[in-house]
Amino acid sequence: MRKLYHFNGGVHPPQHKSESTRHPIIKPPLPEKLVIPLHQHIGNTAKPVVSKGERVLKGQKIGRAEGYVSSAIHAPTSGTILSIEQEPVPHPSGLRDLCISLEPDGMEEWIELQPVDYLNTDPSTLRNRLRDAGVVGLGGAVFPSFIKLNPSNRKIRTLVLNGAECEPYITCDDMLMRQRAAEIVEGAKIMRHMLQADEILLGIEDNKPEAIAAMKAASGDEMEVVAVPTIYPGGGAKQLIRVLTGIEVPAGERSTDLGVQCFNVATAASVYRAVRYGEPLISRIVTIAGNVANPGNYEALIGTMIDHLILQAGKNEEENVAIMGGPMMGFDLPSVRVPLVKATNCIIVKSEKLFPKRPAPMPCIRCGRCAESCPADLQPQELYWFSKAGNFGKAQEYALFDCIECGCCSYVCPSSIPLVQFYRYAKSEIWAQEREKKASDLARIRHDFRIERIEREKREKAERLAQKSAKAGSEQE
Amino acid sequence: MNSPYLAKTPSVTEIMAKVLLALIPAIAALVWFFGPAILVSLCLASATALLCEAAMLKLRKRPVTPFLMDGSALLTAWLLALSIPPMGPWWLIVTGTAFAIVIAKHLYGGLGSNPFNPAMVGYAVLIISFPVQMTQWLAPASLAQAHLDFSTILHYMFSGSLPSPLDAYTSATPLDTLKTQLHLAKPITEIMTLPIYGKMGGVGSEWVAAAYLLGGLYLLQQKIITWHVPFAFVATIFVFSGIFNLYDPALHAGPFFELAGGATMIGAFFILTDPVTGPTTPRGKLIFASGAGFLTWIIRTYGGYPDGVAFAVLLMNICVPLIDAYTQPPVFGKKK
Amino acid sequence: MLDAILVMSGLALFLGSVLGYASIRFHVQGNALVEKIDAILPQTQCAQCGFPGCRPYAEAIAEGRADINQCPPGGEANIHKLADLLGVEFKPLNAEHGEPKPKSLAFIDESTCIGCTLCIQACPVDAISGAPKQMHTIIASECTGCELCVAPCPVDCISMVPVAENISNWKWKRPSYLEQDAA
Ligand code: SF4
Ligand code: SF4
Ligand code: SF4
Ligand code: SF4
């Protein structure tokens, strides 16, 4: 038995996982329209490379990666480009963003795929391949994977695969591990090769015995499957790394500098498909759960409208409001008429019964329950106090940016204070202030530059005048 | 609405209700050993607290119902009523409670913002202003020279007159007696043979202390409080009184007497554990409670007041922001 | 009694000397102070403060010639920061210098622009590109929204367009609180 480590805090919310694991992954029918946002990853928005009216093939690149931190976007099926416009996207702001709309022609005609033999390909070509295939982290963070597969100077000892899936309701990784264990193992081998890692550890919470069994059967001696205790947020990358290796990755540091790298199991599977078959990331598995007749997992094309998926799962009568992500860290979708994106691991249709409204917040009584449950070892009540007072400097001193927004503190707060919302607010205010600071620094430089230029022009003019008059004087003599 | 959409936690009201519930055994013990006077003063204190709370909420333009329902005013009232002599004149308990709620709680910003434990502020004000009334404790029913029934109690509390002289019903507390007797240069062993002393503390009051302990264990089991504060407080008093008792048993009462006597138990489990006025970090709680334990023992041994818990708590309340600031646990990944 | 007085005056003496030392030790010297003030100012260079730009205003504050509440683009947030830096009391924005407005960018209606270059001369940060007799455009990323180019334009083709909220500049709102917690 491998020695497991422990992190402080954490909570045990009700799981609600059995509802959506009763039947295997379903492929929903092709929708009538796909809306594919160009910004589905951390980093720069992809640049559209198709135009309206153009016919595209399945897997054809329709947006190319812009700059280093970015990722490509592909047509999920063959069809015609309807428009490239601002459309509603799944974002807590409810704002629109640039999307490419596609009308499927039903032919599912693939572009010519180019598989790679990874063992005989150099890592940088492999990374470019993943970048072009639009492979990003599918656990929810959607960070471009090729960047994380660029080994730093430090040797990577351990490659951690994250199959913990700690949030209630979400079961997409569970089902993937049960049904496609081999793909995950192959993907992990490619990643290990790229990182030159010594070992692969796959952490799965012990509430998923079927997934553990399937992965153990598939992994042979390529990797070690470790059952980890079920506790939220045990599937946070930092928490899982801690549990499996004992290493604590501080905020603002990269785990690679400590010799570990962590990927979600679904990411491993898509790395495999991108390398082995040359298939770009055009679909993902999403859990549809909550107030639906038939909760389950669906392998849906990126760009499928969420309401199309909810309909597949058997919409129940009631208002159509849904959460994207889990109930601990997800957010309210502005409407169900938004597309599925690479980050959508779960859609939970809400109902008053499943998520009763919390009582109105009361003042903080400093009971310390939040601090006890915080997996980042923060003092949420102090962060709350400073964020609420707008004292962001002090909030940063108390390590606001170490907060992983897991929601444990709000979960246990007897005063029902929306603590995490205050941290999100404080963080985005600080980011805004930093943006403003950058802009004003730029303006200062340009202003100084301008003043200098005007002075210089004045000086030159004066010199020219002086020369002229000197000349004139000498001519007179 | 935003994530997390789930919550599992007792509400403030439930927490306060459990604390009130945990006080019931001690109240029962008080009634059993000292007669029903405490019930009258509890009612008076509760009514005053709720009225003051409602008035202050109105004045401060806060919604009245949710805050009245949180139970914190009631708890303050009970703690104060349990800390002062049960059969004082009516205005004693009313003044104390009103002061606790209006000044110590609401003028400092209300629930969650008051730096000082309101009940202890009320107590301190009373003992400084009315030292005589505040030391007239009821004698245990078994030792009192005259019988007290309900109507006599009510009559006394509101009119001040009694069928027999007041002395027939009251006596000094065991701690107080100890102090006066020590001043008379009597050795402890002899003092302890006085009729008001029982097996460990005072007759009756030792059982009340045991009932507080019982309530406290319930709160621990319910995870309303953590072990840090009661443990550190009790252990500090135990250690100091133990050392000095070993050193000179004639001058210093034994550690068990210090634990069973006075307000040690109610302090350990009910007063020092007030979250609002205590530190939040585990290490901070230990420091806070040990400090309070040490001060309690010092005041009891060398100070002018019979018991030291209230002043110890208030003194330590001042230090809370400092304690919290210096006991921040290391953040994840930044441990040395 | 006497010892109490002695203790108190001793304490006062000690604290006084600590404070005195601190004020000498941590006193921010002239130019450094101007830099620090200038770093807080928004660099819009709009001259609403009554000085020909942010730096002159920073110098004026450092020399005590101007108050800290004269910069509308900076708003109250910046006044707080200045008050902190200088160790003085916060005061609300002086309305004489204008009201804070949502950030806007200049926009040139290119069909009307006659290419007179007057706006280019007015822009304090060279955010307008164009040559004589050609139409001009605003470089959005560099425009500070100071409005100085609006007045000089002889054909009124410059308008100020508020910056719209989009996904990259969107902010989480402060949770709306019930009056329970208005304090
Ligand atoms: S859990 Fe809530 S009430 Fe308790 S200390 Fe934290 S924020 Fe305050
Ligand atoms: S949301 Fe942040 S502060 Fe709250 S428990 Fe999670 S990490 Fe800690
Ligand atoms: S008012 Fe304008 S010029 Fe003056 S400091 Fe503020 S931004 Fe700069
Ligand atoms: S373009 Fe106009 S508004 Fe923008 S910075 Fe230049 S002068 Fe100011």
Question: Ligand 4, from C104, C108, C147, C153: best to mutate by most atoms within 8 Å of Cβ?
Answer: C147
Q: Check whether C28 has a pLDDT greater than 90.
A: no
Q: Which residues of A touch C38 (CB under 8 A)?
A: 444
Q: Decide the pairing of beta strands A158-162 and A260-264.
A: parallel
Cis peptide before B4 (omega within 30 of 0): yes
Given a contact cutoff of 8 angstroms between Cβ atoms, the answer to whether A380 and A9 are in contact is: no
pLDDT at residue number A127:
92
The winner for highest mean pLDDT among A199-208, C123-132, C134-143 is: A199-208
- Closest atom of ligand 3 to C45 CA is 3
What mean pLDDT do residues B181-210 have? 79
Tokens of B182: 């020590």
> What CATH architecture applies to the domain C104-162?
2-Layer Sandwich (3.30)
Decide the pairing of beta strands A61-64 and A73-74: antiparallel
Instruction: Give me the numbers of helices (H) and strands (E) for chain A, helices first please.
Output: 13, 16
Cβ atoms of A177 and A184 within 8 Å: the answer is yes
- Residue pair B90/B44 in contact by the 8 Å Cβ criterion: yes
SS3 at position A44 = coil
Looking at the complex, does the CB of residue A331 fall below 8 Å from at least one CB of chain C? no
Domain(s) labelled CATH 3.40.50.11540 in chain A stretch across 18-29+115-284
Would you call C180 and B67 a contact, using CB atoms and an 8 Å cutoff?
Answer: yes
Ligand 3 touching residue C73 (CB < 6 A) = yes
Instruction: Determine whether the interchain pair C142/A446 forms a contact, defined as Cβ–Cβ distance below 8 Å.
Output: yes
Query: Chain B: residue nearest A253 by CA?
Result: B333
Q: How far apart are CA B118 and CA B101, in angstroms?
A: 7
**Residue A443 structure tokens:** 């303006």
Predicted pLDDT at C182: 40
Contact A441, A275 (CB under 8 A): no
Inter-chain touch A365–B111, beta carbons under 8 Å: yes
Cβ atoms of C87 and C69 within 8 Å: the answer is: no
**Residue to mutate, C38, C71, C94, C144, ligand 3, most ligand atoms under 8 Å from C-beta:** C71
What pLDDT score was predicted for residue B154?
80
Which residue is closest to A332 within chain B, CA to CA?
A: B2
Q: Which atom of ligand 3 is nearest to the CA of C57?
A: 5
Q: Is B262 exposed, middle or buried (0-12, 13-18, 19+ CB in 10 A)?
A: buried
Q: Is the Cβ of B4 closer than 8 Å to some Cβ of chain C?
A: no
Note whether B56 contacts C: Cβ–Cβ < 8 A: no
Q: Which ligand has the minimum distance to the alpha carbon of residue A239?
A: 2
Query: Would you call B7 an interface residue with chain A, using a CB distance cutoff of 8 Å?
Result: yes
Ligand 2 pocket test, candidate residues A331, A378, A379, A401, most atoms within 8 A of CB = A378
Structure token pair of residue A237: 């990358």
The protein residue whose alpha carbon is closest to atom 3 in ligand 1 is: A364
- Residue B207 included in any domain: no
CB A363 within 8 A of CB A388: no
B330 Cβ contact partners less than 8 Å away, ≥ 6 residues apart = A377, B336
Residue B216 reports pLDDT greater than 80: yes
Residue minimizing CA distance to atom 6 of ligand 3: C71
Task: Please answer yes or no on whether C180 and B109 come within 8 Å at the CB atom.
Answer: no
Q: Is the dihedral of CA A96, A98, A104, A107 positive or negative?
A: negative
If asked whether residues B178 and B112 sit together in one domain, one would say no
Chain C touching partners, 3 or more CB pairs below 8 A: A, B
**What is the distance between the alpha carbons of residues B166 and A375, in angstroms, rounded to a whole number?**
59
Could you say which residues from 183 to 212 on chain A have a Cβ atom under 8 Å away from some Cβ of chain C? none
DSSP for B232-274? HHHHHHHHHHHHHHHH-TTTS--HHHHHHSTTHHHIIIIITT-
Two tokens at C114?
Answer: 């006659």
Ligand 2 neighbourhood includes A328 CB (under 6 angstroms): no
Task: Return the amino acid letter for A134.
Answer: G
- Separation of A7 CA from ligand 1 center, angstroms? 20
pLDDT in tens, B145-189: 667 777 788 877 787 777 777 777 777 777 877 777 777 777 777
**CA B2 to ligand 2 center in whole angstroms:** 15
* Cα(B153)–Cα(B166) distance, integer angstroms: 11
Structure tokens at A27: 């492929």
Q: For residue A283, which of A26, A24, A17 has the smallest C-alpha distance?
A: A26
Q: In the prediction, which pLDDT does A357 show?
A: 86
Helix, strand, coil content of chain C in percent (nearest 5): 35, 10, 55
User: pLDDT averaged over chain B?
Assistant: 88
B102 CA to centre of own chain: 19
B3 close to A (CB below 8 A):
yes
Q: Mark whether B105 and B186 lie in a shared domain.
A: no
Say what percent of chain B tops pLDDT 90.
Answer: 51
- The residue ranges of DSSP E strands in A315-456, in sequence order, are 322-324, 331-332, 346-349
Chain B CA closest to residue C182: B62
Q: Are residues B129 and B181 in the same domain?
A: no
Domain residue extents for chain C:
32-97, 104-162
Q: Does B276 touch chain A (CB under 8 A)?
A: yes
- Say how far apart CA B291 and CA B94 lie, in whole Å: 31
Let me know: does C183 contact C131? Beta carbons within 8 Å: no
> pLDDT tier at C71 (50, 70, 90 boundaries)?
very high
Nearest to C126 among A421, A435, A446 (CB): A446
| Binding pocket residue ranges, ligand 1, CB within 6 Å | A 364-370, 380-381, 384, 412-415, 417, 419
- How many Å apart are CA C136 and CA C113, to the nearest integer? 7
Q: Are A191 and A160 in contact (CB under 8 A)?
A: no
Q: Do A450 and C165 touch (CB under 8 A)?
A: no
CA atoms of A220 and B307, how far apart (whole Å) = 71
What six digits make up the tokens of A105? 């022609």
Within its chain, how far is the Cα of A438 from the centroid? 26
Q: Whose atoms come closest to the Cα of C73: which ligand?
A: 3
Give the helix, strand, coil percentages of chain A, each rounded to 5: 35, 20, 45
Distances (CA, A) of A146 to A133, A155, A177, A200: 10, 17, 22, 18
B281 contacts A371? CB cut-off 8 A: yes
Q: Does residue B3 lie within any of the structural domains?
A: no
Q: Total domain count for chain B? A: 2
Ligand 2 centre to CA of A327 (Å) is: 15
Strand segments (E) across chain C: 104-108, 128-129, 137-138, 158-162
Specify the ligand 3 atom closest to the Cα of C46.
Answer: 2
pLDDT at C11: 54
Contact partners, residue C170, CB within 8 Å, separation at least 6 = A91, A93, A95, A428
DSSP state of A190: H
Query: Which CATH number is correct for A18-29+115-284, 1.10.357.10, 3.30.1240.10, 1.10.760.10, 3.40.50.11540?
Result: 3.40.50.11540
B25 or C11, higher pLDDT: B25
Max CA distance (Å), chain C: 88
Q: How far is the CA of A446 from the centre of ligand 3 (A)?
A: 15
Question: What is the rounded CA–CA span in Å between residue A341 and residue A391?
Answer: 35
How far is it, in rounded angstroms, from Cα A411 to Cα A406? 9
Q: What would the two tokens of residue A379 be?
A: 């003092």
Handedness of CA B309, B314, B315, B317 (dihedral sign): positive
Question: Going by CA atoms, what residue is nearest to atom 5 of ligand 3?
Answer: C54
Stretch C33-53: mean pLDDT, rounded?
89
Residue B334 maps to a domain: no
B41 and B119 both lie in a single domain: yes
On whether both B129 and B184 belong to a single domain, the answer is no
Report the length, in residues, of chain B.
336
Phi, psi (deg, nearest 5) at residue C51: -120, 155
**B1: pLDDT strictly greater than 70:** no
Q: Does domain C32-97 have CATH number 1.10.260.40?
A: no
**CA A242 to ligand 2 centroid distance, Å:** 17
**Structural domain for B139, as ranges:** 9-171
SS3 C168: coil
Distance A403 CA to ligand 2 centre (A): 5
Mutate to test the pocket of ligand 1, among A373, A385, A415 (most ligand atoms within 8 A of CB): A415
> How does pLDDT run across A29-48, given as a tens digit for each residue?
999 999 999 999 999 999 99
Neighbours of C68 (CB within 10 A): 24
Q: For C38, which residue in chain A has the nearest alpha carbon?
A: A444
Query: What confidence category does residue C183 fall into, taking pLDDT thresholds of 50, 70 and 90?
Result: very low
Look up the pTM and report it: 0.87
The per-residue pLDDT for C180 is: 44
Out of A363, A435, A439, whose CB is closest to C181?
A363
DSSP C147: -
- Give the residue ranges of chain A where pLDDT is below 50: none
Between CA A147 and CA A150, with CA A149 as vertex, the angle to 5 degrees is 70
